[in-house]
Every structure is written in structure tokens, then in C-alpha cells.
Amino acid sequence: MNLKNSHENLETSTKRDLWSHPWGYTESFVIAAELLILGFILEFVTGGKGIAPISMPYNFYILISFTGILIALRVFYSHNSVVKWLSGVPAAISSITAFALITMLMGFIPQSENNSPGFLSLIGLTHLKSSWPILLIQFYLLSSLGLVSLKRVYPFKGKNIGFLLNHLGLWLTLVAALFGSGDLKRLTINLLEDGKPNNIAISQNTGAYKLPFELKLLNFHIDEYVPRIVLVNANTGKFLLEKGEAAIPVELGKTYKLKKWSVTIDKYLEDAILTDTILSEKLINGSFPAVFVTAINTVDGRELKGWLGTGSFAYDPRFINLENDIILALTMPEVKKYRSDVVVTRDNEIVDTVSIEVNKPYNISGWKVYQISYDQNKGKWSTLSVLEVVSDPWLKIVFIGIFMMFGGSAYLFWIGRKKIN
């Protein structure tokens, strides 16, 4: 009987009331959930407008203040129950889990910078990157991660080097993502051949922005693949291709089988123009690819000859009507690559003359200049080049954080191997 009472007393003594210190996983996950719910409520109350990013110098002031508060909490209040909880594993795990949940939601729910109608937008789910829920969770995560790191800084021990590199590297990366969003500028600038130098870029959200340099377009070039020949339903405009089948590429002298038609390519003009219903080769503005083909019906032996042309903004396409609503046509050639030859000036002096291609940006004065588009209607005859200019001054901090995490992982791997040996 005494053993039973002792066992019951032991169970009673080991049970802990919720919200009694020290807080554990239950309280930590409840706090994370409450922060998320509070964020969604704030979004709803403010009409789903999200949070406008803060730029320099105010974001820098907030970061310095936030970092100072974390250091003060560690130095002067390290024995406080809430500070000890924030410096522990349960708070870290719950904040990371909540942050991962929001990141997953971004992948499942289409995100848009513009406010769209609907309940999801009203509570911030369609613009999570600039919403109250992610802001609250990021501060929760940064507070926990920062205090955990400071806990290992003093007293400093050599065995904590890997831990500090990993955790401080992650902290810096998250700080740059949170505080640097207001300083990220992503603008577009339109350049015309033979136009004047331009330094006015446009942002969809903030309007015109004056760049610290000027760009002048000398030439815009497009390299294209050869066009392809295909059967088309004249009523629907759809290609008549079987599953896994592709249109046939133009190759002079080749004969191809298209269903019951045998098609031979007799002539190929890379640049053709239409004069009095006759196609002739001439490289001028608006010329287009054309082929002269012989099409033979393999069932009844009927033979048709004629020109196929893609057409352009200046000329209509050419095709051959084979039977009923089936036509033989030439597809518009796919773009292989395109680039802009640009003169860069700064303070009225020529800095450089460069060719800017897709995925090959040009760097100047902390800006990256990307080739992104052109006049789609004119194709290779476009005299318009659309460039994107991007400035992200916090990107260096992101790289520092990533290198620190790599260094921490390498250090831990090295220490682990050293212990094994």
C-alpha cells in the first residue's frame, strides 16, 4: 500500500502544469500558433494590405536596436525564465517549424504582389512574403536563434566554433531577407535602337527611378532556330500531331512523311519578301523565312507545289491548302538567344560597351543589368530591348551567412573525422 502511494506521489510530482516554468515544447508550439493566428488577424483587420518594406536607414536602425536588445537580454537577463526559454531548444524547434510551414504555404498557394479579391488575400495567404504572419514568425525565429548563438559566444570555447558558424550564418541570412527587402530594387528600362541614352527605369510599384548611370542601345540581335513544317487544322489552328510527335525541321533537299503526305523541301529562303504574290530573297525590315515544297499524296498520287512562309509584322503567312480543312504551314522560328549591344555612360563619360544576354548580366555601380524581353510582334526585327536592372545591397550579407554555414559544416565534418581517427 505504501509502495502504491509512493508511486502516485511520484507521478503527481513529475506532472507539470501548462505554462509553469520552464516552458517546453507544448508552450513553444502554442506560442508559434498564436503568433501565426495574430498575424492573420492583423492582416484581416488591415484589409489584407500586408506590410510595406522598410528601407535604409530605418531598417538599419531597427536591426541595430533589435540586436542590442538581444545582447542586453543575454548579458543582464540570462537567468530570466522567458529568456532561458527563448535560448532553449523548444523555442528554436517551434519557430523553425512555423517558418517552414509558411514557406511551404508559399509553394502551394499562388503568390502575388498585387492585392487580389478573396478571403485568402484578406488574411495574407496570397502575399505571405510581405505579410504579418511571416514578420512575427521571423522575429520569433531570429530572437531564438540570436539568443542561442549568444549563449555559445560567452564564455567562448573552441568546440563551439562549428555551432556558432552555422547558427550565426543562418541568423545573418534570415536578417538580410527580413531587413533587406525594402532596399531591393527590381526595375525595367526600355531602350530603342538609335535612341537617346536612358537612365529612367520603371517599377510597377513605385514608378520612375533615376539610375546612377545611362544606357544607350546600339543594336539588338536575335538568333533563331530554323522553322518547322507542320499540318494544321484550318478551323481550330491546332497542329495535327500525334502524341510525342514533333513538327519537322526545315532541311534543304530532305523528304518527310506527314500522315499520308510526302513533303520534299526544294528551296529555303532565310529572309524572304512577298512582291506581287511572288516570294523573293531580300534582307529587309520584316522579311521572313520561307520554303518551296513539293507535297505528294501517297494514297491518290496528287501533287501540290508552293511556298510556305511564316509571315511577319509586315507580311501575311503563306501556306498550302492540302485537302478540306488541312493546310501545310511553316511555324514561327523559335528564338535561340538574343542580346543587346549597349553603351554604358556615367557622369557623362563612357564607361563600357557591352553585350547583355539572357543569364549573362552586366554589373555596374552595385546594379545588375539583365536582358529580359523585346518587341514580340516584330521578333528579330525588334528595335526595342527591355532590360531589367536590379540592386540588392543586402545580398553580400546573404553570401557571408551562406559561407559561414558552409564553414561551420566543414569544421564539424573535420572535427568528426578527427575524433574517429
Shared domain check, 370 and 255: no
Range of the domain at 369: 185-223+336-391
The single residue listed with the C-alpha cell 531589367 is 388
Position 9 in a domain? no
pLDDT at 416: 67
Query: Measuring CA to CA, which residue among 380, 375, 369, 379 is closest to residue 344?
Result: 369
Query: Measuring CA to CA, which residue among 145, 114, 137, 112 is closest to residue 126?
Result: 112
Shared domain check, 167 and 44: yes
Question: How far is Cα of residue 291 from the mean position of the Cα atoms in its chain?
Answer: 40
The set of cell numbers assigned to 30 is 502554442
Q: How many domains would you assign to the chain?
A: 3
Shared domain check, 155 and 122: yes
Position 361 in a domain? yes
The set of cell numbers assigned to 375 is 518587341
Instruction: Write the burial class of residue 2 (CB in 10 Å: 0-12 exposed, 13-18 middle, 19+ buried).
Output: exposed
Position 8 in a domain? no
Residues facing residue 274 across a β-bridge? 279
Position 231 in a domain? yes
Shared domain check, 217 and 75: no
The set of cell numbers assigned to 312 is 511577319
Shared domain check, 307 and 163: no
CATH of the domain at 383: 2.60.98.10
pLDDT at 262: 93
Position 237 in a domain? yes
Position 421 in a domain? no
The set of cell numbers assigned to 83 is 529568456
How many residues are present in the chain?
421
pLDDT at 5: 54
How far apart (Å, rounded) are the C-alpha atoms in residues 292 and 284? 20
Distance spanning both ends of the chain, measured CA to CA? 55
Shared domain check, 85 and 28: yes
Shared domain check, 302 and 201: no
The set of cell numbers assigned to 357 is 544576354
Shared domain check, 261 and 133: no
The set of cell numbers assigned to 85 is 526559454
Shared domain check, 169 and 69: yes
Position 138 in a domain? yes
Specify the DSSP element, H or E, that contains 406. helix 395-420
Shared domain check, 89 and 37: yes
Give the residue from 333, 357, 377 where a domain finishes: 333
One digit per residue, pLDDT tens: the chain, 421 residues? Answer: 455 554 554 444 456 678 888 899 999 999 999 999 999 999 999 998 889 888 899 999 999 999 999 999 999 999 999 999 999 999 999 999 999 999 999 999 998 876 667 889 999 999 999 999 999 999 999 999 999 999 888 777 777 888 899 999 999 999 999 999 889 999 999 999 988 999 999 987 778 999 999 999 999 999 999 999 999 998 888 998 877 778 889 999 999 998 899 999 999 999 998 776 677 888 888 999 999 999 999 999 999 999 999 999 989 999 999 988 899 999 999 999 999 999 999 988 999 999 999 999 999 989 999 999 999 999 999 999 999 999 999 999 999 999 999 998 888 888 766 565 5
Residues facing residue 224 across a β-bridge? 335
Position 244 in a domain? yes
How far apart (Å, rounded) are the C-alpha atoms in residues 183 and 55? 5
pLDDT at 12: 45
Query: Are residues 17 and 145 in contact, defined by beta-carbon separation less than 8 angstroms?
Result: no
Shared domain check, 300 and 348: no
How far apart (Å, rounded) are the C-alpha atoms in residues 107 and 104? 5
DSSP 194: T
| Three-class SS state of 167 | helix
Query: Are residues 404 and 168 in contact, defined by beta-carbon separation less than 8 angstroms?
Result: yes
pLDDT at 115: 65
Give the residue from 312, 333, 354 where a domain finishes: 333
Could you report the per-residue pLDDT of 57-108, keeping only the tens digit for each? Answer: 999 999 999 999 999 999 999 999 999 999 999 999 999 999 999 999 999 9
Shared domain check, 85 and 214: no
User: Can you give the pTM of this predicted structure?
Assistant: 0.79
How far apart (Å, rounded) are the C-alpha atoms in residues 180 and 398? 10
Give the residue from 315, 333, 351 where a domain finishes: 333
| Three-class SS state of 368 | strand
